[in-house]
A and B are shown apart, each in its own frame.
Chain A
Amino acid sequence: MKQIAIVSGKGGTGKTSVSSAFASLSTNKIIVDCDVDAADLFLTMQPTVLETFEYEGGKKALINPEICTNCGICEDLCRFDAIHLVDGQTTVSEFSCDGCRLCVIACPVQAIQMLENLDSRWYISETRFGPMVHAKLGIGEDNSGKLVTQIRDRARKMAKEKDLDLVLIDGPPGIGCPVISTLTGIDIALMVTEPTLSGLHDLNRLIKLAKGFKLKSFVLINKFDLNIAMSSQIEAHCESENIEVLAKIPFNRDFVDAMVNQQTVLEYSPNSELSNQFREIWKRIALEFK
């Protein structure tokens, strides 16, 4: 079984559209949406949810004002600047609390407890392309890396049980916590970029991050014709990094129109140049599975 993740340093380069196209082309796989912050793959996959799970993610400290003596010990100890005196009462800021529990441990009168935030959910679903695991992170919640790890673990387990060949992962943008959780233990990272200064800069940081993992990297330049000179620069950069540029895809409205129709590009315009290009790209990637 192989695991491939579609990633990009910069957001909005087309990860989810590319992932959707691969969902159309690949067989005997499970699909995972690891962009739990802003999950969009369900819009093209239209999954039917079979099972829903609560994600016990970020726990936050809560001070009981009835017991609290406002001694200030927790405020002094908190390294996340999350505890302050507000209107005469020592209070935890929900959005700054990192959930470390130090305040709970240190409170001399046991006025603080950890409260589980159960806004986040994850799902096992069925789609027209096979099973899918996806999630919805609660509003403003942290630990998205932990949620990514959790849904990937389940997908891998399901792939083994069902004897599937492939785990197809739509990844998050950036190079931080959820991306690190996405890249850990995969076989192939397909980096989708665009021919802009920002695209090149962000790709470069992602390539550096990926070097720390044992995986094979490929690059795909989307909308390459918006700036051909910049595309060449990205190609040259990839060559110097010894990374194969799989394809350069021209700007194409079919991406957006397919999305509007809740379809993959392969479904929306199966005979287009774009779809043929994706078939070639997938053929090349599939060579790595042998």
Chain B
Amino acid sequence: MLKYKIAVASGKGGTGKTTVSVNLFYTLQKILNQKIQLVDCDVEEPNIHLFTKGILESTQDVIIKIPVIDKDKCVYCGDCAAACAYNAILFVKSISHIAVLEDLCHGCGACSYVCNQPDVIIEKNKKLGVVNSFVLPNGGELIEGKIEIGTALAVPVIGKTLKATDENSLRIIDAPPGTSCPVMETIKEADFIILVTEPTPFGLNDLKLMIGTIRKLGRKFGVVINRAGLGDGAIYEYLQNENIELLMEISFDKNLARIYSEGKIIVEEIPEMFEKYTLLFEKIKINLNEADSDC
């Protein structure tokens, strides 16, 4: 039983992360006889469910605790406002005004910790998003995180999504775009990271940023080039100079773009692509086995 945690990421958006995640999942579901979970951590815009069309089995709310200040009991000392690192408590001593700016609150609990009056700050739940579990027609599972529209806090939803996965399964984790905190939260414990990019100057620039992040984390990774044939050759030169493994190339093809646009699974439509993804997994396995022999 393989228990790999494979993350699929890219600095630039729209390079094909979800395509690679979903098609790798469908390929492995065919060639491996074990539990596999597909995990959607692109919590701002989760899209995998559009392709997998599963049955929603359970939904779990992601909540944080935010303060409610009892203005009658408050002595207006200002300690809570001073303790808040997010400027989420508006305090004007001269007119005895205090208010919680809920959108800025990260729910850390510092204000209620420092408040020395009994029962002045109580906490209420604020919903940041949900973690949905789907059972899929091919027998696999999809765990999807999704933030509420208007929520600025993605990281706690990603954390909860990853916690809801099964450690005894092989997990394919679709990361959000970018290189900042939501991405780090998603990939920091992955065994292997597939970086999906395209051979354009934007693609290369964002790939370099992403590789900087991954090297800081000390994770194993390789690169998939999507839409090969567009753009220029600079990316190939970069990979060669940096000694980075090119795991797979997908040619730019309007037919593939159309299949994707309709929400269909490419490896189920085109046998050649199934073989490509099988080979991709073989390469990842070699990388991960090397890791084992190092230990």
10 A-B contacts (beta carbon < 8 Å): A10-B45, A11-B177, A40-B205, A79-B108, A102-B110, A140-B179, A180-B152, A198-B50, A259-B202, A262-B201
Report the stretch among A24-32, A93-101, A124-132 that lies at the interface.
Answer: A93-101
State whether the Cβ of B161 lies closer than 8 Å to any Cβ in chain A.
no
Contacts of A173-214 to chain B: CB distance below 8 A = 173-177, 179-180, 194-199, 201-202, 205, 208-209, 212
CA of A25 to CA of B232 in the docked complex: distance in angstroms? 26
Residue of B whose beta carbon sits closest to that of A35: B178
Knowing A140-B179, A172-B178, A226-B258, say if A201 contacts B13 (CB, 8 Å). no
Which B residues are closer than 8 A to A by beta carbons? 11-15, 18, 43-45, 47, 50-51, 64-65, 83, 85-86, 106-110, 113-114, 147, 149-156, 159, 176-185, 188, 200-202, 205-206, 209, 212-213, 216-217, 230-232, 254, 257-258, 260-263
Contact of A80 among B83, B108, B113 (CB under 8 A): B108
Residue of A whose beta carbon sits closest to that of B50: A197
How far in angstroms is the closest Cβ of chain B from A194? Answer: 8
Would you call B213 and A81 a contact (CB within 8 A)?
no
Would you call A43 and B201 a contact (CB within 8 A)?
yes
How far in angstroms is the closest Cβ of chain A from B162? Answer: 11
Would you call A38 and B12 a contact (CB within 8 A)?
yes
Contact of A139 among B47, B201, B212 (CB under 8 A): B212
CA of A70 to CA of B159 in the docked complex: distance in angstroms? 25
State whether the Cβ of A246 lies closer than 8 Å to any Cβ in chain B.
no
Would you call A140 and B254 a contact (CB within 8 A)?
no
Would you call B180 and A141 a contact (CB within 8 A)?
yes
Would you call A12 and B113 a contact (CB within 8 A)?
no
How far in angstroms is the closest Cβ of chain B from A281? Answer: 20
Q: Which chain A residues border B64 with CB–CB below 8 Å?
A: 79
Q: Which chain A residues border B147 with CB–CB below 8 Å?
A: 175-176
Residue of A whose beta carbon sits closest to that of B177: A11
CA of A239 to CA of B231 in the docked complex: distance in angstroms? 35
Would you call B205 and A201 a contact (CB within 8 A)?
no
Residue of A whose beta carbon sits closest to that of B232: A260
CA of A137 to CA of B14 in the docked complex: distance in angstroms? 20
Would you call B180 and A251 a contact (CB within 8 A)?
no
Would you call A176 and B182 a contact (CB within 8 A)?
yes
Q: Which chain B residues border A275 with CB–CB below 8 Å?
A: none
Interface centre among A10, A43, A143 (most CB of B within 10 A): A10
CA of A140 to CA of B18 in the docked complex: distance in angstroms? 21
CA of A198 to CA of B45 in the docked complex: distance in angstroms? 9
CA of A175 to CA of B185 in the docked complex: distance in angstroms? 18
Contact of B262 among A105, A197, A205 (CB under 8 A): A197
Would you call A77 and B109 a contact (CB within 8 A)?
yes
CA of A198 to CA of B14 in the docked complex: distance in angstroms? 10
Q: Which chain A residues border B51 with CB–CB below 8 Å?
A: 197
CA of A144 to CA of B152 in the docked complex: distance in angstroms? 11
Knowing A11-B14, A38-B12, say if A198 contacts B47 (CB, 8 Å). yes
CA of A139 to CA of B213 in the docked complex: distance in angstroms? 5
Q: Which chain A residues border B183 with CB–CB below 8 Å?
A: 140
Would you call A176 and B106 a contact (CB within 8 A)?
no
Would you call A177 and B153 a contact (CB within 8 A)?
yes
Q: Which chain B residues border A260 with CB–CB below 8 Å?
A: 200-201, 231-232
Q: Which chain A residues border B14 with CB–CB below 8 Å?
A: 10-13, 173, 194
Would you call A227 and B258 a contact (CB within 8 A)?
yes
Would you call B85 and A99 a contact (CB within 8 A)?
yes
Knowing A79-B64, A198-B47, A227-B258, say if A212 contacts B150 (CB, 8 Å). yes
State whether the Cβ of A37 lies closer than 8 Å to any Cβ in chain B.
yes
Knowing A105-B83, A137-B179, say if A226 contacts B154 (CB, 8 Å). no
CA of A259 to CA of B203 in the docked complex: distance in angstroms? 11
State whether the Cβ of A9 lies closer than 8 Å to any Cβ in chain B.
yes
How far in angstroms is the closest Cβ of chain B from A254? Answer: 11
